[in-house]
Amino acid sequence: MRHLSILSLAAALTLSISGCSGFLDEDMKSSLTPGNTYTSTYGFETAATGLYSWARAEFSTWNSEDDAAFTHSQACPYEALQVATDIVFTAHKDGSLVPFENLTYTASSVYVESYWNWAYGLIANCNALLTHSEDEVEWDNASDKSLYQATARFFRAYAYRYLVYLYGDVPYVDKVETEFRIDFTRTPKAEVLQKMIEDLQFAAENLPENPDSVEDGKLTKWAALHLLSEVYLMAGMNQEAADAAQEVINSGYFHLMTERFGNTVDQPGDVFSDLFKEYNQNRKSGNQETVWAMQFEYNTTGGGGVYDDWTKRAWNAKYYNVDGFVLCDSLGGRGLAQIVPFPWWVDSESFYDATDIRNSDYNIKRNWYYNNPESEKYGQKAEITQETWEIGNLLPTITKFWYGKTADNEAYEGNNKDRMKFRLAETYLLLAEANINLGNTQAAAEAINTVRRRAGASDITPAQATIDFLLDERIRELVGEELRRFTLVRTGKMVERTKKYNTVMGSKMVDTYTLWPIPQSIIDSNTGAEFPQNPGY
């Protein structure tokens, strides 16, 4: 069964379930249809697994059909949401990324179209699950129907989050489209946000409460409330945003990690670096800070494929291009420096407190030593220069995404580890953002200080609790984890801060670029109704 529309809402059921490794044998995938899948709890579990797979492919690069439910078919989808902001520029001039840094992308550019397709593909599969959940189904338990509906409604809101941030007003579709359509219209952003809120409220009411009772990576009530807090902020509903964040914080299930933990506790490091070490993202490692972790563990059933997550490539330096260095696991393997931090924050003596562990060498590598035993420079310190920084060879490097293995030294494969998609530190910062917007700077400072105390940083006063300070704090705590474009758009600071801090293209930033254009293929095909382009494109 196929659902056709010009919006790429027509993700076939078999495509959704192609990511359901572990539920059905590979040779049975082609036989999956709504008629023989949406008939039992087992079938809905299979379909729900497909939703996780599709969502996990949000940054996929060149995965084959067997590796992922979706692929952007280019190297830098994640990086496109980081450049042209206040935090990074691109050193490795990837052809698909450069237009997004220098603001020359068009309505036909790759990520403009592929993010639209990824989001509506996920929405289509969510709508299919929701529609068929109302059919005659042999449920194993009375709560199964609401559980799978809650899962689908969470992921539908998750997909619309991308669409609203990137494109503004977008068609809201909440049912299976069985006919070819050329008459879609753009739903006002405020209406889409209200629908997202309703979906997440339902999800919070019907997803499991105890995170210790679910498998790694499965959604809980608290993941829905964390995302709901952000969506409330997007909608300007600040008290509701504060209440949702506070509910997660007060749940009793999570706390900021303050003591070292996990499988590298006996190695040099600190508690912040422990959060990002391989195998430390899930609760079984002792990590009580993760609210939701996407499962990317490499070469593992239900984990990441070869090209699913290239974040490590993005942030790591190309040190191996410097004479006296060789590729090395302990240096993060083969980085590409597709995005490079601006000096204003990563190289500033005042940006971090002297005692802030987020600035330690375990978390930002500033000291590089020649590691080629055959070089006469072996063991000596390599100096970072303006040139090595600008071309991405040696620079202060964020280490939270590092994951190296021997095979990685020979190929661009195996870059994955589980990713903390939501963690409690961000929940506190969402709470702070809501309270700043409400004018309650005392409560905002208290939330920010909770995060800063774990890092060993000094407390701030209520007078210091401003949106700009919060945005700086989000860099210190969440750089690379958050999608910086989304944060700046939500807080209304995209133009101001990019102009102020981006020395590569900041002068070109204007209000037009707070949204991407609607894909031209959508406008050209939608001949049955007016479908206006975003202003300025």
pLDDT of residue 475: 98
Residue 28 counted as domain residue: yes
Percent of the chain with pLDDT over 70: 90
Query: What are 96-113's pLDDT values in tens digits?
Result: 999 999 999 999 999 999
Kindly report the pTM of this predicted structure: 0.93
The range of the structural domain enclosing residue 128 comes to 1-79+103-206
Residue 40 counted as domain residue: yes
Sign of CA dihedral 503, 505, 507, 510: negative
pLDDT of residue 272: 98
Residue 58 counted as domain residue: yes
- Token pair 């600040």 in the structure block, residue: 238
How far apart CA 348 and CA 367 sit, in angstroms, is 16
Cβ atoms of 429 and 478 within 8 Å: the answer is yes
Is the model's pLDDT at 206 over the cut of 60?
yes
Cβ atoms of 441 and 465 within 8 Å: the answer is yes
How far apart CA 48 and CA 41 sit, in angstroms, is 10
**CA-closest candidate to residue 451, choices 485, 418, 475, 420:** 475
Expressed in angstroms, the distance from the first to the final Cα of the chain is 36
pLDDT of residue 231: 99
In eight-state DSSP terms, residue 342 is -
**CA-closest candidate to residue 229, choices 48, 437, 395, 64:** 437
Query: What are 413-449's pLDDT values in tens digits?
Result: 656 789 999 999 999 999 999 999 999 999 999 999 9
Residue 150 counted as domain residue: yes
pLDDT of residue 297: 81
Query: What are 226-257's pLDDT values in tens digits?
Result: 999 999 999 999 999 999 999 999 999 999 99
Residue 116 counted as domain residue: yes
CATH number of the domain at 114, please.
1.25.40.390
Query: What are 318-351's pLDDT values in tens digits?
Result: 999 999 999 888 898 888 999 999 999 999 999 9
Max CA separation in the chain (angstroms): 74
Residue 458 counted as domain residue: no
Take residue 53 and report the two structure tokens written for it. Answer: 């797979």
Is the model's pLDDT at 360 over the cut of 50?
yes
Q: Domains in the chain: how many in total?
A: 1
Sign of CA dihedral 22, 226, 426, 260: negative
Residue 432 counted as domain residue: no
How far apart CA 491 and CA 81 sit, in angstroms, is 16
pLDDT of residue 298: 72
Is the model's pLDDT at 379 over the cut of 90?
yes
How far apart CA 269 and CA 247 sit, in angstroms, is 32
**CA-closest candidate to residue 243, choices 232, 254, 235, 253:** 232
In eight-state DSSP terms, residue 50 is H
Residue 384 counted as domain residue: no
How far apart CA 378 and CA 385 sit, in angstroms, is 19
